[in-house]
Structure 1
């Protein structure tokens, strides 16, 4: 029996370090209540940035397959548009930062479904898929926590 491939240390360590900006925003919002709006906007911006990165990953997967269909590219653009929309409604005063954070968190938590739909590149590598689930789940949960903290009076 062939052992399952393991995620190498650099991607795991750097990926985990990618959670630090959101941890910093949550910490700031908890311990400095007057900075909650700033923490929400910065944390929302970071979540939107990561969503855009994930969409770029899907775009590249479709390109590597020379996929001629429209929907993989439309799906790949969706995370960037969700992030942009969430920031736009906050900066435009249409919705409070906590509402945008919830939308961003849900998009992050749902993003592994896009991996499944967009292509087989991660399907065959269980260790990488687990890392992806852990990081998206971690960032999504931290973003939800930030929404809860920032949504308090």
Structure 2
């Protein structure tokens, strides 16, 4: 009799490794630095700093969607919803990066929070609940940076 392999979602959640924490926190540097620069640079450089912050936010929002493709690819019979949701953040980020920074950065900030809300529901179903503390911290600082950047435009 053949044993059915356990689904990856059935594996218990493990704490993120230390290096993942360090890399995650390092990934906040462009958010925090970008938001600060929006408030500090000369007017001639302002469009570049807001575009840099918006572009980085778009990359990270897209990355958060891509994680869902990775989760789905681990499953023997992945739900289509994981793939569908994985595309949504990239599409929203693409539109937001083309908008004026005062609006686009708000969209990015909201999308970071929406991605976290979705992940709070999805991660535990796939054995990734231990990553939610890190996700909360990173999403909060990143979203706040986007909102502060928008306020500085």
After TM superposition, the score normalised by the length of structure 1 is: 0.81
Quick check: 1:43 aligned with 2:53? yes
> What is the alpha-carbon distance in structure 2 between the residues aligned to residue 118 and residue 76 of structure 1?
12
Match of 1:132 in 2: 135
Q: What aligned pairs does 1:113-124 form with structure 2 within 5 A after superposition?
A: 113-119=117-123, 120-124=125-129
> What is the alpha-carbon distance in structure 1 between the residues aligned to residue 37 and residue 135 of structure 2?
26
Instruction: Provide closer, same or farther for how the CA distance between residues 124 and 99 of structure 1 changes in structure 2, counting only shifts above 3 A.
Output: closer
Contact map agreement 1:29 1:39 (CA 8 A) in 2: yes
Q: 1:52 aligns with which of 24, 49, 62?
A: 62
Q: Gaps spanning 5+ residues in structure 1: where? A: 91-95
Match of 2:95 in 1: 85
Q: Gaps spanning 5+ residues in structure 2: where? A: 1-12
What are the superposed Cα offsets for residues 53-80 of structure 1, whole Å, 9 maximum, x if unpaired? 1111011111211344322211110011
Instruction: Provide closer, same or farther for how the CA distance between residues 33 and 148 of structure 1 changes in structure 2, counting only shifts above 3 A.
Output: farther
> What is the alpha-carbon distance in structure 2 between the residues aligned to residue 107 and residue 72 of structure 1?
17
> What is the alpha-carbon distance in structure 1 between the residues aligned to residue 29 and residue 61 of structure 2?
16
> What is the alpha-carbon distance in structure 2 between the residues aligned to residue 114 and residue 135 of structure 1?
15
Match of 1:93 in 2: none
**Alignment length (residue pairs):** 139
> What is the alpha-carbon distance in structure 1 between the residues aligned to residue 71 and residue 15 of structure 2?
21
Taking only aligned residues, the RMSD between alpha carbons, in angstroms, comes to 1.9
Q: 1:66 aligns with which of 76, 91, 110?
A: 76
